[in-house]
Structure 1
């Protein structure tokens, strides 16, 4: 309800609306205030996507008409404030698509339920730590959790997935690594979780680094754990999720100090294959036609081929954009109309594919590395994982491990779980934030039991 104490013709405060995107509803919350210089400022929360504090670059308001501009989202909103100041009716435009959206005043924004997240005080010790990857000149900040029972303890270092991630691997309003660390520490396993380069308390840059560089960061973390008297130096392992499951083997083959690795939703195929499979799986699950999927694949392949053919310093955003637009222009008219749907996000995609991280990921094949892994391996995947589909990736991982002579591995594919290993309906990323479960309890139990069994064997 509107607050009667607030002047009607102002935008300050909280506003909530629901955007219907092809049958998927997204709850949006606007938080608008006035800066000291009199400008209206604010941010947007997309609750069901778990995307919070999205900056609004510009807010204009003439007493009736409202316009919000969000360059990072390639989006804008134009609306009209009602006479009583209780709602704004207008259109949300993003990527060339315009949808109706009404925001209504609210005194309290809804919150996302995350029942698995632990509440303090914890029944274990928690310590903020900083250590250094001296070779890269990078300082890494993290949290070390230690059981309160007598040690020394087996320990794991958690490795996040792609993109700039904090130590909790915060995604879609979930904090999977917080939940995982809490469960494992309660089971008697020490856990180190760390901010990625350039995130939180860590220095350096994510986009300028590659998976190989992140493997060096992991080894610095293993060395740090070895120096801790509470940790059993013979029982230090790695748990990598998504790209972290690609990084863990890279680290494991470089150090005999790593006793085991656990790969969660990990790739077993080259990056290009992963990206093409991912795009097709998500599009199909979203109801896209075969024609749309085929055109999207053709555009992706065009971009990937240019990145692979060109030297890093010679391929520019402008050249890549021009090539893709020329490719679309020569398509038959029906296909051209389909392809235009993807041009709205083209600029964001181009910026990403030109980074050192993407260039490495695109062509890196994890199988030769997996063949060199000699320590025990646990592989866990969700049957409904659309980002790293298990049907193609799990056999590749198994073939590589067996090809290298490693027989001490276990593969677990769990029905009904998605890429985050949540119980889900569709597996679509848009569903992640709507699910209250952060990690399926069966996954947590499997991981802890497996670690403790291997720790007792040593």
Structure 2
């Protein structure tokens, strides 16, 4: 175990590095093991634990975007409030070549390492094995219900800006938005390409053999078939575990109207689901004002402190 060294990075004001320690861990085995970090509060007695999942793309354990590390914000903020946290580099970060495997899917991208991380936390001294939760951001939130279905010991789910609209449709919508606020030949060309690819994903002709060059973001036919056959809202609705769904009001990637509306409709009959909107927050839950754009991520900032407090309070109640 090592004490936290904050000399190279300024932590958010809601994190107190003196209250926890971190150690390096390995998740998985063999060539597909990935490095990670366990953050443990220095308190006596059993504590809840969470496994953090980053969004779609080759993210590291901190969810690094520009100069920002939103998953480290969450890990340090929650650990300062008595929650044990595991986060890890995605396999697509440590071994980007897996994305060229024609059989690679979202399930392969997330489930093996997430379930291994859950079990590691459950076996960690002073972590309550009955209170290990999954906290997923964006695609990490989308896949979280599949994780809980595969690993019923998960105590509950926290879904941060979890997308519910089919990803190929969301990609077209996002690029149309970007073209409206900052049009450029590059954005227009990408919009045209993704629109063509989305039509292929929607077609009855999509198969594992469909060339990745014809599909959005160069992802394989198998990857898109896995996404197309997965209904995250229906999967979540069938789970018994409590859930906390958080959404930024300024998020243009996962939106209140297109995504949160689907979560609300699908989970409306559940009595153990909490849904909360943070009007000033963007996709990374960074507070701000005005229309959100990719430029939001270029300046150093931190996850909304209210979000961290609300998650910690929700965990304490469950």
Pairwise same-fold verdict (TM > 0.5): yes
Counterpart position of 2:272: 408
Calculate the TM-score normalised by the size of structure 2: 0.84
SS of residue matched to 1:387: coil
Higher helix share: 2
For structure 2, the 5+ residue unaligned runs are: 1-8
Between Structure 1 and Structure 2, whose CA radius of gyration is higher?
Answer: 1
SS of residue matched to 1:199: helix
| Deviation (angstroms), 1:379 | 0.7
After superposition, the Cα gap between the structure-2 partners of 1:445 and 1:268, relative to the gap in structure 1 and judged at 3 Å, is: same
Counterpart position of 1:250: 146
SS of residue matched to 2:43: coil
| Deviation (angstroms), 1:117 | 8.0
Counterpart position of 1:431: 296
SS of residue matched to 2:314: helix
| Deviation (angstroms), 1:161 | 0.4
Counterpart position of 2:107: 212
CA distance in 2, matches of 1:141, 1:204: 17
Aligned length: 303
Counterpart position of 2:198: 304
SS of residue matched to 1:380: strand
Counterpart position of 2:5: none
Q: Kindly provide the CA deviation profile for residues 169-195 of structure 1, in whole angstroms up to 9, marking residues without a partner as x.
A: 111221111111111011000000111
| Deviation (angstroms), 1:267 | 0.9
Q: 1:230 aligns with which of 109, 123, 126?
A: 126
Q: 1:360 aligns with which of 202, 226, 230?
A: 226
Aligned residues: CA RMSD: 3.0
After superposition, the Cα gap between the structure-2 partners of 1:281 and 1:370, relative to the gap in structure 1 and judged at 3 Å, is: farther
Higher RCO (Cα < 8 Å, 6 or more apart)? 2
SS of residue matched to 2:280: coil
Higher strand share: 1
CA distance in 1, matches of 2:311, 2:15: 22
Decide whether the 8 Å contact of 1:215 with 1:251 is kept in 2: yes
Counterpart position of 2:304: 440
After superposition, the Cα gap between the structure-2 partners of 1:396 and 1:120, relative to the gap in structure 1 and judged at 3 Å, is: closer
After superposition, the Cα gap between the structure-2 partners of 1:355 and 1:175, relative to the gap in structure 1 and judged at 3 Å, is: farther
Q: Kindly provide the CA deviation profile for residues 49-106 of structure 1, in whole angstroms up to 9, marking residues without a partner as x.
A: xxxxxxxxxxxxxxxxxxxxxxxxxxxxxxxxxxxxxxxxxxxxxxxxxxxxxxxxxx
After superposition, the Cα gap between the structure-2 partners of 1:181 and 1:312, relative to the gap in structure 1 and judged at 3 Å, is: same
Counterpart position of 2:4: none
